Chains A and B, each alone.
Chain A
C-alpha cells in the first residue's frame, strides 16, 4: 500500500515549456486534489476532482489544467510554464466529504514535486 505517490520529485523547466505532473493513489479514494505550497502562504488549492472524469477549479487554477481519466490517477498540466509557477506541488486524496453525522475523512498527501521555472 503506497498511499499517494507523485512523479517526478524534482523538475526544472524553462519559461514556456510544458510538463505534466502525475499523482497516483491506491486507496480507492473518490476525491483528489492538487495544491501548491509557497513560503508564507500555506497550501492553496489549484484544482480538484470528486470522481473519475470530473474536475473543478480551486483557489488558484490559472495556468494549470487537470485530468482524471482513471480513478486512481490525477494529472496536473502546465501548458506554458512561467516563473510564477515555481513552487512545491502536492497531491492529496480522500473519501467523499459529508457533513452528515460528522463523517469527514482525512486528506492523504503525497511527498510533493519541487518545480523550478527559469
Chain B
C-alpha cells in the first residue's frame, strides 16, 4: 500500500531563508509524486510532479523537489522564501489504482 509522511506539521522560516519541506513515501509500485499548495481559503494548486523522467523536478514559484529512491524521499525546497509563500503544502503519491494519497500537510510560516 502507498502512504506519505510529511515531517513537521508547521515550519517557520525568515523571509529570504531556505525553505525545506520534507516528504517521505512508501509505495509498492514505482511512485508518481506530487506537491500541492493551498493558500488560505482556496483549493489546492499543483506545484510540481515527479513522473519518472528527471529526478530533480522544477515547479512554479521557484520551488523544486528531488526524488531520491534510496531514501524514499521527495523533499520540497526553495532557495529564498517570500512572504507570499506562506501556505499549507501537501505531498501526495499515487496509489496503484491511480488515486492520490495525501500527506497530513505542512503549514509554512514566513516571518519578515
State whether A90 touches B100 (Cβ < 8 A): no
The one of B34, B97, B98, B102 that contacts A42, using a Cβ cutoff of 8 Å: B102
Interface residues on B, range: 20 to 34
**Looking at chain B's contact residues, is the secondary structure mostly helix, strand, loop, or mixed?**
loop
- Complex interface: chain B residues within 8 A of A33 (CB): 99
Interface residues on A, range: 20 to 34
Number of residue pairs A-B, CB distance < 8 angstroms: 54
State whether A104 touches B44 (Cβ < 8 A): no
Given contacts A111-B42, A111-B43, contact A42 B52 (CB under 8 A): no
Q: Is A109 part of the binding interface, using a Cβ–Cβ cutoff of 8 Å?
A: yes
Q: Which residues in B have some Cβ–Cβ distance to A below 8 Å?
A: 4, 9, 32, 34, 36, 41-46, 49, 51-53, 90, 94, 97-100, 102-105
Considering the complex of A and B, which 4 residue pairs feature the smallest CB-CB distances, nearest first?
A97-B98, A109-B43, A42-B102, A109-B44
